[in-house]
Amino acid sequence: MQSLSQKEKVKKPFWPALVIFLALGLVLIVVCSEKNLFLFNLKPHESSTSSSIASNSETVSVETYYVPVAGFSSSFQNLNLEEVQSSLKNGDVNLQIVIPLENREELLSIFQLGDFPLAVTTMPRTEIYDYLNAHSDIVSFLPWNEVDFRLKTLKINGTSLWEKQVDLEKYPLKFVSAETKDQSQNLPQYSSQNLIHLAAVGELILSRGVAERIIKYNDVLYPFRKVNAVLSSADFTLATLEAPLVENCAYARDTMVFCGQPEYVA
């Protein structure tokens, strides 16, 4: 009995060794994981899908520019923004305006209104083109990319969106919306640098009275001096030469002979 109790006294507990073994194993696991020595990854998997969705959901500001338009028989050339706002707010009959149904909310924001009065007509955009040409005293406002050859575009506060030097920061008919990057890439982007300007002058007859002034002032370009700035600012200028330019064309004011000198081509 005495020898058995002595053995029990000298018997050492095993749990300290177990703790040390587990600690070493944990250290080994951490090191192997950091060095990618496992055949599998112990780190949480970062989803590329979620990061892609987050990237695509980022919003950007998109600017939509509106253009005042009227029928071709209309006498309107320029609109004053304050007068337009007053007409829309009070239903002024002196300036009748029709609003495209699809752009109603955006135009309310542009003109800083809560709602349009009953006197303001609203209709689908597809009907506005013919409606304006049938009513010369009515104007409307369309997104720049919805304007086509059926309508005459007007200036607003003396500014036209079709001018290459237009200051878009100060252009008054602008709606700013927040869109995702993917959505913004599918929207039409306005740039004045993409505009192509055409100038057309109709028929040119460099004979009779016109030739008389060219000879008088000894200036081939005299007939064009006052319109030179407009014509030279266009990318393309079109004209119809109605009288031939031939050698030895005698100047005659009161005859039916229409011809000019070859040197009239500058």
pLDDT at 51: 45
| Domain annotation for the chain: domains and CATH numbers | 59-188 (3.40.190.10), 198-264 (no CATH)
The mean predicted confidence, pLDDT, of the chain is 81
pLDDT at 72: 93
pLDDT at 89: 83
Q: Indicate the pTM of the whole model.
A: 0.66
pLDDT at 172: 94
- Cβ 105 vs Cβ 128: under 8 Å: no
pLDDT above 70 for 84: yes
Which residue type does 157 have? N
pLDDT band at 64 (very low <50, low <70, confident <90, very high): very high
Q: Rounded to 10 degrees, what is the CA torsion of 253, 257, 258, 259?
A: -100
pLDDT band at 52 (very low <50, low <70, confident <90, very high): very low
Which of these, 174, 164, 153, 129, lies nearest to 68 by C-alpha position? 153
Higher pLDDT, 53 or 129: 129
Whole-number percent of the chain with pLDDT over 70: 77
